[in-house]
């Protein structure tokens, strides 16, 4: 694997890139163009796991919170299956609090760090019952008091369960793509969140996570992104990208054919 990443090596299916263009702040028109193209391009692609769970569970704040906790550093298929098993056994804080930590571990396995996550889930249910009457809070400040809940989880709960239009959820995909696009120049997802509030119009905030995560899982991958088939390749400076995949991108919709309204 180490040899694959060496600069100068020739590997079938990959090619080096020229140095990226200098970073320039995005214009509102550029952000709109990217977001509208992605709105079309992700049509027909599988939704991220938490989005799917939110839809199937009627945007239940508690279940969105737990699903997001499960999703950290875990593949979507694993997250979705684990969440469905857990919610089939217990779908409310009161019911889940009655489960032992060991029972929760067995239900959510094999999500990453399942033992730690089981403890967080157990503690979160206790906190909800003791401090919030079993209700999942609807503010950033209150959500951050829940064990294991950080800004990413809190933002996603506010967007999906409370229909907030004032929050941006930033995970590793959003962080990576926002930097590749040159919209921000940041080191951490938390820094990216704050920078995106300044770099983008509020109308796009609820959609940034959905669009960029879906695109990041399918096209703009961490290693060897599939740039030749990307719907926004002509407006992306590819900041930090040194090698790309030349593999064909099989998308259900030709994103550059038209720009849809959001």
First and final C-alpha spacing in the chain: 41
Q: In whole angstroms, what is the distance from residue 11 CA to residue 166 CA?
A: 44
Choose the catalytic residue: 60, 117, 122, 152: 152
171: annotated active-site residue: yes
What gap in Å lies between CA 107 and CA 117, rounded to an integer? 11
Phi, psi of 255 (to 5 degrees): -65, -30
d(CA 90, CA 62): 11
Q: Which position among 106, 171, 190, 250 bears the catalytic label?
A: 171
Asked whether 112 and 74 are in contact (CB, 8 A), the reply is yes
The structure tokens 């509102």 sit at 28
Enzyme catalytic residues = 152, 171
């Amino acid at each position: 694997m180490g040899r694959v990443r060496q600069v100068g090596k020739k590997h079938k299916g990959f090619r080096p890139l020229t140095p990226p263009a200098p970073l320039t702040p995005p214009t509102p028109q550029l952000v709109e163009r990217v977001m509208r193209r992605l709105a079309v391009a992700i049509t027909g692609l599988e939704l991220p796991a938490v989005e799917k769970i939110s839809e199937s569970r009627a945007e239940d704040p508690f279940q969105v919170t737990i699903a997001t906790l499960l999703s950290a550093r875990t593949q979507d298929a694993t997250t979705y299956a684990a969440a469905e098993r857990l919610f089939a056994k217990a779908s409310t804080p009161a019911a889940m609090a009655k489960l032992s930590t060991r029972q929760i571990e067995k239900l959510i396995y094999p999500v990453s760090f399942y033992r730690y996550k089981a403890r967080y889930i157990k503690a979160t249910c206790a906190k909800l019952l003791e401090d919030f009457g079993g209700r999942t809070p609807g503010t950033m400040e209150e959500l951050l008091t829940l064990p294991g809940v950080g800004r990413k989880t809190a933002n996603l709960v506010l967007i999906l369960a409370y229909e907030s239009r004032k929050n941006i959820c930033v995970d590793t995909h959003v962080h990576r793509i926002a930097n590749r696009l040159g919209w921000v120049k940041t080191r951490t997802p938390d820094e990216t969140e704050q920078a995106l509030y300044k770099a983008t119009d509020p109308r796009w905030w609820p959609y940034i996570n959905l669009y960029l995560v879906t695109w990041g899982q399918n096209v703009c991958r961490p290693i060897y992104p599939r740039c030749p088939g990307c719907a926004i390749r002509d407006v992306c400076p590819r900041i930090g990208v040194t090698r790309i995949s030349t593999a064909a991108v099989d998308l259900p919709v030709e994103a550059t054919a038209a720009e849809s309204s959001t």
